[in-house]
Homo-oligomer: A and B are copies of this chain.
Amino acid sequence: MEVIYLTVGICKQEMLQKKNAVLVDGVILNGPIMDSKAGEKFVEEACKIIMEEVIQKADDVTEKVCEWRAPETLKQILDLEMRDTGESHQKLLQLCRDVIQYSVKTSHPRFFNQLYAGIDYYSLVARFITEALNPSVYTYEVSPVFLLVEEAVIKKMIEFVGWEEGDGIFNPGGSVSNMYAMNLARYKFCPEIKEKGLSGLPRLVLFTSEECHYSMKKAASFLGIGTENVYFIKTDERGKMIPEELEKQVQRARKEGSAPFLVCATAGTTVLGAFDPLDKIADICENHGLWLHVDASWGGSALISRKHCRLLHGIHRADSVAWNPHKMLLAGIQCCALLVKDNSGLLKKCYSAKAAYLFQQDKFYDVSYDTGDKSIQCSRRPDAFKFWLMWKALGTTGLEERVNRALALARYLVEEIKKREGFQLLLEPEYANVCFWYIPPSLRKMEDGPEFWQKLHQVSVT
């Protein structure tokens, strides 16, 4: 059977050919839909604004990071209301200018955030291409180029993790990648859960450090595992998981009669930038038969640097890795891969729903390219493409320079902090996170004590 979704209008060539109006249900089917010349002109004018106001000002330090307005004020400035009739192109272009003016310039050199590192022109072009083409990555026949590109990028990332083979998928965020890993580990532990669910089963328990990303709790809650069944492992003074504490907690869980199934190590914690000791954690996972997932959403990019990849020593022993090239490598939000060591089709077995309307098995090409059924999504964005084009443009050495530069900048800031009055370094960083206290003049002579710390804490939020 064929299904045709009739949402596409008759095109302009056909309008010219057909002289008699076809009227159905009050709609002139061969009448004008939209003036494509005016539409194209609008796009051209808007692109000029984007080029001038966003791209050319991206690295201009004389511009503001943000023209800040409080919510109620900004609501008044922006004409947010959607009305029955549309606005003129002139009004719309002004709206675009306003939106840009009052938005944060995330590529500004003074915008310090773990997701951003300035502008990358190549990934930006790739993103413009995919927005214009508007693909959905589920089957080869609909996304031939982007599926091949995703395969190539995943293969290359797997090389840097150090696996001989593997599988993977790009997801809308590191949080979602962590959820995938948690679900995969659970499926591997007990494949029946896919059909039967968790009801009546022993309590599944997973382990992660107390410095882990908050998505671990979100994932445990969403997947029906429960946040109380995330056992948080103590960290040392640098924020790294203490392997001996992990061992103790696994034994405690076993004694309680619960079912440990997963350890989530972190490579690059959110606040301190700490790297868990992967090799020692992998030993414990092997001993206890636990899946090892490494949340390298933030720290994964160090794998590209021959100088800094030692931070992730032992990552090749992981069963799965989350790695977001949209952070230090500048690929643009969102660009997040989950990589899986298993090459026996575990992703597909765990996630497939085998929708007959989409994933027919009797197509005229190799349907192993139809990777959509590895995903919890149906339509999916081609996020690998921007990373690919950027990699093609810079080469591995260009990516490596970005990582080396970020870490050198961190080292430079540390030295500056040490020299300056009123600044106090929290700890020597091992990655690009520099944690410090700013002590304002009014507190510099105050005695160390609860009152001092209470006042100092207030400084950092005001």
CA distance A363 to B199 in the complex (A): 41
* Nearest B residue (CB) for A104: B142
The reply on A242 being an interface residue by CB < 8 A is no
* B121:A131 contact, CB within 8 angstroms: no
* B132:A14 contact, CB within 8 angstroms: no
CA distance A5 to B272 in the complex (A): 10
Shortest Cβ distance from residue A307 to the other chain B in the assembled complex, whole angstroms: 8
* Residues in B neighbouring A113, C-beta threshold 8 A: 5, 142
* Residues in B neighbouring A347, C-beta threshold 8 A: none
Shortest Cβ distance from residue A385 to the other chain B in the assembled complex, whole angstroms: 8
* Nearest B residue (CB) for A409: B6
CA distance A125 to B48 in the complex (A): 11
* A131:B128 contact, CB within 8 angstroms: yes
The reply on A235 being an interface residue by CB < 8 A is no
* B413:A4 contact, CB within 8 angstroms: yes
* A433:B3 contact, CB within 8 angstroms: yes
Q: Assuming the A-B contacts A13-B62, A47-B47, A378-B213, are A391 and B134 also in contact, with contact meaning beta carbons closer than 8 angstroms in the complex?
A: no
Can you identify 10 A-B contacts, CB atoms within 8 angstroms?
A: A9-B405, A66-B144, A86-B392, A86-B397, A103-B143, A183-B222, A215-B378, A222-B222, A222-B376, A362-B461
* B221:A222 contact, CB within 8 angstroms: no
* Residues in B neighbouring A217, C-beta threshold 8 A: 353
* Residues in B neighbouring A458, C-beta threshold 8 A: 362
CA distance A185 to B376 in the complex (A): 19
Q: Assuming the A-B contacts A9-B118, A54-B129, A224-B198, are A214 and B409 also in contact, with contact meaning beta carbons closer than 8 angstroms in the complex?
A: no
Chain A positions 176-229 with a Cβ under 8 Å from a chain B Cβ: 176, 179, 183, 186, 193-204, 213-215, 217-229
* Residues in B neighbouring A86, C-beta threshold 8 A: 392-395, 397-398
Chain A positions 5-20 with a Cβ under 8 Å from a chain B Cβ: 5-14
* A117:B8 contact, CB within 8 angstroms: yes
A80 contacts which of B78, B129, B148, B413 (Cβ < 8 Å)?
B148
Q: Choose the segment among A167-175, A246-254, A286-294, A441-449 that binds chain B (4+ C-beta atoms closer than 8 Å).
A: A167-175
Shortest Cβ distance from residue A372 to the other chain B in the assembled complex, whole angstroms: 10
A134 contacts which of B1, B79, B116, B201 (Cβ < 8 Å)?
B116
Q: Output the residue of A56, A194, A379, A434 with the most chain B CB within 10 A.
A: A379
* Nearest B residue (CB) for A146: B103
* B54:A132 contact, CB within 8 angstroms: yes
Q: Assuming the A-B contacts A55-B40, A121-B42, A409-B29, are A199 and B197 also in contact, with contact meaning beta carbons closer than 8 angstroms in the complex?
A: no
* A134:B112 contact, CB within 8 angstroms: no
* B85:A397 contact, CB within 8 angstroms: yes
* Residues in B neighbouring A452, C-beta threshold 8 A: none
A412 contacts which of B29, B110, B199 (Cβ < 8 Å)?
B29
Chain A positions 296-333 with a Cβ under 8 Å from a chain B Cβ: 307, 326-328, 332-333
Shortest Cβ distance from residue A189 to the other chain B in the assembled complex, whole angstroms: 12
* Residues in B neighbouring A58, C-beta threshold 8 A: 36
* A61:B8 contact, CB within 8 angstroms: no
Closest 3 CB pairs of A and B: A197-B226, A224-B224, A7-B117
CA distance A300 to B108 in the complex (A): 39
* A369:B71 contact, CB within 8 angstroms: yes
* A106:B133 contact, CB within 8 angstroms: yes
* Residues in B neighbouring A62, C-beta threshold 8 A: 13
* Residues in B neighbouring A135, C-beta threshold 8 A: 103-104, 106, 333
